[in-house]
């Protein structure tokens, strides 16, 4: 794995317990900055990650053969929708530190994104824990979540979690990008 000079310097300072890197944390083979996974400045790495996510046919574990003809329903941005999150799950990525999937959660109001790494054999419970550890601790339980009908987010666990919290779980059309 390639690292740029800045990432190598940060890791060395963390290893030597030097100052100046207080907002960084190295845990489970990943480097975090302010609780977000840090993506190294290696040329093209960010673009490669984004391209792989956007072009992945394993997104949410569904193989997309061809979108049906017709109009795709869109979600209208109302005040009710602006208080929530959109999410997606990118699976089948090359393994990095034992992580092979990324849960992507986007705040519809700020457009801020969380990229949460997941191990290959994740369960509904482990995804919920990662969601709580990485999103709920920073933003609280959202007023609504829009998902693309993936098996994990349609499961009874998620319905129960959001019902107990007073949140609405909303779904987009199956082939909505």
Q: Give pLDDT tens digits for 122-168.
A: 777 777 788 888 888 887 777 777 766 566 566 666 676 776 677 77
Determine if residue 44 is left, alpha or beta; phi over 0 gives left, psi from -120 to 50 gives alpha, anything else beta: left
CB contact burial 32-59 (16+ within 10 A = b; e otherwise) = eeeeebbebeeeeeeeeeeeebeebeeb
> Hey, what CATH class is 48-60+77-171 in?
alpha beta
Residue range 74-105, pLDDT digits in tens: 444 444 444 577 777 777 888 888 888 888 88
**Location of each CATH 3.30.420.10 domain in the chain:** 48-60+77-171
Q: What percent of the chain has pLDDT over 70?
A: 67
**Geometric angle at alpha carbon 127, from 82 and 52, rounded to 5°:** 75
pTM for the full predicted model: 0.46
Alpha-carbon distance of 133 to 146, in angstroms, equals: 19
């Amino acid at each position: 794995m390639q690292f740029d000079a800045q990432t190598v310097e940060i890791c060395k300072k963390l290893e030597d317990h030097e100052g100046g890197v207080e907002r960084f944390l190295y845990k489970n083979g990943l480097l975090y900055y302010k609780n977000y996974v840090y993506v190294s400045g290696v040329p093209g790495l960010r673009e490669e990650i984004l391209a792989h996510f956007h072009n992945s046919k394993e997104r949410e574990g569904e193989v997309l053969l061809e979108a049906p003809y017709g109009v795709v329903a869109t979600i209208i941005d109302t005040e009710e929708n602006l208080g929530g999150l959109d999410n997606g799950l990118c699976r089948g990525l090359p393994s990095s530190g034992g992580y092979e999937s990324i849960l992507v959660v986007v705040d519809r109001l700020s457009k801020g994104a969380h990229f949460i790494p997941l191990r290959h054999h994740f369960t509904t419970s482990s995804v919920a824990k990662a969601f709580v550890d990485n999103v709920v601790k920073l933003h609280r339980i959202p007023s609504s979540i829009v998902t693309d009908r993936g098996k994990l987010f349609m499961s009874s666990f998620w319905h129960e979690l959001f019902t107990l919290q007073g949140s609405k779980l909303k779904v987009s059309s199956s082939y909505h990008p």
